Amino acid sequence: DQTTRLVDYRAPDWLVEETRLNFDLQPTATRVTATLKVKRNGTGPADFRLDGHSMRLLSAAIDGRPVPAEAMIEGEESLTVSAAALPESARESGFEWTCVTEIDPSANTALEGLYMSSGMYCTQCEAEGFRKITFYPDRPDVMARFEVRIEGDAPVLLSNGNLVASGALRDGRRFAEWRDPWPKPSYLFALVAGDLVSHDDRFTTQSGREVALRIWVRPGDEDRCAYAMDALKRSMKWDEEVYGREYDLDLFQIVAVDDFNMGAMENKGLNIFNSKYVLASPETATDADYARIEAIIAHEYFHNWTGDRITCRDWFQLCLKEGLTVFRDQQFSADQRSAPVCRIADVATLRARQFREDSGPLAHPVRPEAYVEINNFYTATVYEKGAELIRMLRLLVGASSYRAALDLYFDRHDGEACTIEDWLRVFEDATGRDLSHFALWYSQAGTPRVSVKEDYDQGVYTLTLAQETKPTPGQREKRPLVIPCAYGFLDADGRNLGEDGLLVLDKAEQSFRFDLPERPVASLFRNFSAPAIVERRISPADRAILMGHDTDPFNRWEAARAFALSIAGELADGGGRIDPDWIAALRTTVTDESLDPAFRALVLALPGDDEIAGEIAAKGGVVDPDAIHHALDQMAETLAEATAPTLRELRAKMAVTGPYAPDAESAGRRSLANAALALLTHVDGGEAAEAAFSKADNMTDSLAALRALVHRGAPGAERALMDFRDRWRSDLLVMDKWLMVQATSPAPGALDRVKALAETDFNWRNPNRFRSLIAAFAAGNPVGFHAADGAGYRFFADWLIAMDDANPQTAARTAGAFETWRRYGERRQALIRTELERIMAKPGISKDMGEIVGRILE
Ligand code: DPP
Ligand code: ZN
């Protein structure tokens, strides 16, 4: 059994106080000498067991004396010196362990441990990559001070902490020595070596300390770092102001890397980023890219306290740092931009990714209890639902108690490796509340459904809420959760009625009574106060009141979304019609100049295919991707026909003058103009989009026009695709967008196009390329992927099999596109099952892929 379980957690037998690493860098044979000062944790004899694999052990010594080969047991992923084989003096107290290993970074296509990307060396150690560098107790509750010496040909040699020495060696080689004063787990170790240049700045902390800031990129990319640097400085200031957290080293560095499995990594003092989330210029990055860069820079920086200074005891506690840090980056973005717009976007992502996960075979609790491969648990549930739990806690205890609890958390647990129990206890101690019932959110999987019943009689409004969570894999029985519902009431004219408030549903069913002078239009779950699915029958008239007048912008958007969803669902089911009231209500909202353009753009956006599929599946229906797509097309076309002059006017009004700036206000104007453009393309044959494409002076407008043309299969699409390629062919990050537009196109022939693109000059081993073409096709092209003959499934499975050999982590993550397979009709299910079984039967399938596909099939 390869399963690791939370209940089996045991404290480490040996701790490491100091770790000295010496790297002699060579592309195919890097030598790593590790010297660890270890000490016994606990009493009595204990084997000295280290994690490690995929390297050659050259020598090992204890207190300077070679360890004889027969005293060491090499397992598949470990090295053990039995307690009996340890020298007497070492057994009780501790010793110095030294070992020399040899690794081949150039052959490391999994991008875990030490590997090479575009000629530079870099590392990714979370969660368990460090064990591919040297033998080590590679677990987050072992925290040590690191000293690192790097020798290599590269001009720039980086590691965590502060630089203590550097210089030239013989034969053109150089060395650098780094010391990180803060004890850390091995997963936060980082090394980078390459031909890099830096974009530099400084930050003065609230206590007056000077911090040098450096963003390292390849020569030529220096002029694309300014935005990331600005976001970093704003993040540092924000964390001081809002959480009282100050940076704790003299240097903070970021390196942009082309080949990276994740978005970025919070290594202490040396964050490593996927270059996609650092590099930006108006010509090459969209408004959405700028917003992502800001959020990820903030996220990784915030990890310095929530992740690095206070880390996780074990990987089951991943949400301790990720849920909290996502919540913190969401708060930051909301403060920097429009809070309601950020909230709507976050909820849309949560529903699209996490609700989907929570309703299928990969559902798991925010704190999972078992895993085969921990890399498979960097999920929407751990991250996004994890963040929602923190948001609910804050709502329940109030903002000032939340801050008091966080102060206590930092105070009490600084330097420790903690659990969710530690986290909740801090809130209990700071607020005097009992959170034992709330804690269920961490262990119970599945999205609760809350049904709403309303009654008004003789001045009394009664609201009855009932909750139910459907069974998820391994969890049949579900208990009622603590569900906060923020509410307010409107009267028939849309004015406020009575008081706003917060009620808490914590039983299967509860009724709440309010004295109100007239029947109210209730606005429930304001600002999405709980990650629940709300089932409520509401009249079109009430919906229009909420859409037009709710003081909660989230619920205004929500009313519009619910309206569109119900129409789309009925159309896809072969019935229904496009209600003119929907069009009228949309027109009113999108032309309301008192509203933020970014908000109006969100209202104007139609629901996604997958969102409708999820709704149909939840009601027990069979999902037909073609019917859904057709329904959405009909809606877009009818809406565009009815509002074309309005849409043209909006585009003219939203035009941004002057040079491009990525600020939220101008971005909002562009998003509304481009939402209108996408609709117009349904009725004008692409005329407006062609004009917009040729005059665009920034990537946001250029890409929006290209997408509108390609996705409509407009006559100008081919020409625009060629122009775009000719202009950007040497910029791979921009070409990823070009690939993605084609991969996600619902126009006929997308699969053939994707196949052709995959055959020409396509570096599929790079995760960004793979995601832009292969994963984007599977996850973002429902019509092409679900082609009735199964060609889309076959194509995708072929690629998963190929990628699994090179990079199991990225392959397994991508395979999640199959998780909704039971939503579809029998024919499609049979076709998908064939592909899933073919993947399972692949000789040498990775643990990563085996676990994901196995769970999907179960
Ligand atoms: N680098 C990933 C993140 O920041 C994992 N820690 O979420
Ligand atoms: Zn994170």
Each residue's pLDDT tens digit, 247-285: 999 999 999 999 999 999 999 999 999 999 999 999 999
Q: Which ligand is nearest to the CA of 271?
A: 1
Answer yes or no: is pLDDT of 106 > 90.
yes
- The Å distance, Cα 325 to ligand 2 centre, comes to 6
Q: Residue 47: which of 66, 68, 73, 76 has the closest Cα? A: 73
pLDDT at 185: 98
Test site for ligand 1: of 123, 267, 268, 300, most ligand atoms within 8 A of the Cβ? 300
408 in helix, strand or coil?
Answer: helix
Spatial strand order in the sheet of 449-457 = 509-515, 460-468, 449-457, 533-535
Answer yes or no: is pLDDT of 557 > 90.
yes
CA distance 426 to 146: 30
- The Å distance, Cα 385 to ligand 1 centre, comes to 15
What are the residue boundaries of the structural domains of the chain, listed by start?
1-195, 449-551, 552-683, 729-858
Answer yes or no: is pLDDT of 319 > 90.
yes
CA distance 538 to 65: 78
CA distance 62 to 53: 20
Long-range contacts of residues 161-167, Cβ cutoff 8 Å, at least 24 apart:
161/249, 161/251, 161/268, 161/269, 162/249, 162/250, 162/251, 162/269, 163/251
Which position has the token pair 């299928």?
360
CA distance 452 to 509: 10
pLDDT at 93: 86
**What's the average model confidence in pLDDT over 383-409?**
98
pLDDT at 536: 96
pLDDT at 549: 96
Could you read off the pLDDT of 703-756 as tens digits, one per residue?
Answer: 999 999 999 999 999 999 999 999 999 999 999 999 999 999 999 999 999 999
Query: For ligand 2, a single-atom ion, which residues have Cβ within 5 Å?
Result: 322, 325
ipTM of the complex: 0.98
CATH of domain 449-551: 2.60.40.1840
468 in helix, strand or coil?
Answer: strand
Cα 370 versus chain centre, distance: 21
Could you read off the pLDDT of 5-61 as tens digits, one per residue?
Answer: 999 999 999 999 999 999 999 999 999 999 999 999 999 999 999 999 999 999 999
Pick the CATH number of 552-683 from 1.25.50.10, 1.20.120.610, 3.40.50.720, 2.60.120.260: 1.25.50.10
CATH of domain 729-858: 1.25.50.10
Which residues are within 8 A (CB) of 789 and not within 5 positions of it... i.e. 6 or more apart?
A: none
- The Å distance, Cα 267 to ligand 1 centre, comes to 9
Q: Which residue's CA lies nearest to atom 4 of ligand 1?
A: 265
Q: Which residue's CA lies nearest to atom 2 of ligand 1?
A: 265
Cα 735 versus chain centre, distance: 22
CA distance 467 to 482: 10
Backbone angles phi, psi at 175, to 5 degrees: -135, 155
Test site for ligand 1: of 257, 270, 292, 303, most ligand atoms within 8 A of the Cβ? 303
Could you read off the pLDDT of 656-710 as tens digits, one per residue?
Answer: 999 999 999 999 999 999 999 999 999 999 999 999 999 999 999 999 999 999 9
pLDDT at 407: 98
Q: Determine whether the shortest distance from the Cβ of 322 to ligand 1 is under 6 A.
A: yes
Q: Determine whether the shortest distance from the Cβ of 329 to ligand 1 is under 6 A.
A: no
CA distance 73 to 774: 42
- The Å distance, Cα 35 to ligand 2 centre, comes to 29
Q: Which residue's CA lies nearest to atom 3 of ligand 1?
A: 265
Which residues are within 8 A (CB) of 270 and not within 5 positions of it... i.e. 6 or more apart?
A: 158, 159, 160, 190, 192, 253, 254, 255
Q: Determine whether the shortest distance from the Cβ of 300 to ligand 1 is under 6 A.
A: yes
Confidence of residue 222 (pLDDT cuts 50, 70, 90): very high
| Atom of ligand 1 at shortest range from CA of 326 | 7
CA distance 437 to 656: 51
726 in helix, strand or coil?
Answer: helix
- The Å distance, Cα 328 to ligand 1 centre, comes to 13
Could you read off the pLDDT of 527-554 as tens digits, one per residue?
Answer: 999 999 999 999 999 999 999 999 999 9
pLDDT at 723: 98
| Atom of ligand 1 at shortest range from CA of 322 | 7
Which position has the token pair 């330097």?
415
Answer yes or no: is pLDDT of 190 > 90.
yes
pLDDT at 1: 81
**What's the average model confidence in pLDDT over 392-418?**
98
Q: Residue 659: which of 714, 697, 622 has the closest Cα? A: 697
Could you read off the pLDDT of 122-154 as tens digits, one per residue?
Answer: 999 999 999 999 999 999 999 999 999 999 999
CA distance 165 to 133: 23
341: left (phi over 0), alpha (psi -120 to 50) or beta: alpha
- The Å distance, Cα 182 to ligand 1 centre, comes to 19
Could you read off the pLDDT of 506-529 as tens digits, one per residue?
Answer: 999 999 999 999 999 999 999 999
**What's the average model confidence in pLDDT over 585-592?**
96
**What's the average model confidence in pLDDT over 314-340?**
98
Would you say the CATH fold of 552-683 matches that of 449-551? no
Q: Which residue's CA lies nearest to atom 6 of ligand 1?
A: 265
Could you read off the pLDDT of 625-669 as tens digits, one per residue?
Answer: 999 999 999 999 999 999 999 999 999 999 999 999 999 999 999
- The Å distance, Cα 292 to ligand 2 centre, comes to 13
pLDDT at 92: 86
Q: Is 826 exposed, middle or buried (0-12, 13-18, 19+ CB in 10 A)?
A: exposed
Q: Residue 711: which of 774, 771, 647, 632 has the closest Cα? A: 632
CATH architecture of the domain formed by 1-195: Sandwich (2.60)
**What's the average model confidence in pLDDT over 432-461?**
98
Distances (CA, A) of 9 to 15, 222, 703, 827: 16, 46, 49, 44
Q: Determine whether the shortest distance from the Cβ of 264 to ligand 1 is under 6 A.
A: yes
What number of other Cβ atoms are within 10 A of residue 658's Cβ?
Answer: 6
- Calculated CA dihedral for residues 264, 734, 696, 586, nearest 10 degrees: -50
Spatial strand order in the sheet of 251-257 = 197-204, 210-217, 251-257, 270-274, 264-265
**What's the average model confidence in pLDDT over 457-470?**
98
pLDDT at 783: 98
Spatial strand order in the sheet of 78-81 = 48-51, 78-81, 72-74
pLDDT at 747: 96
Q: Determine whether the shortest distance from the Cβ of 308 to ligand 1 is under 6 A.
A: no
Question: Which residues are identified as catalytic?
Answer: 300
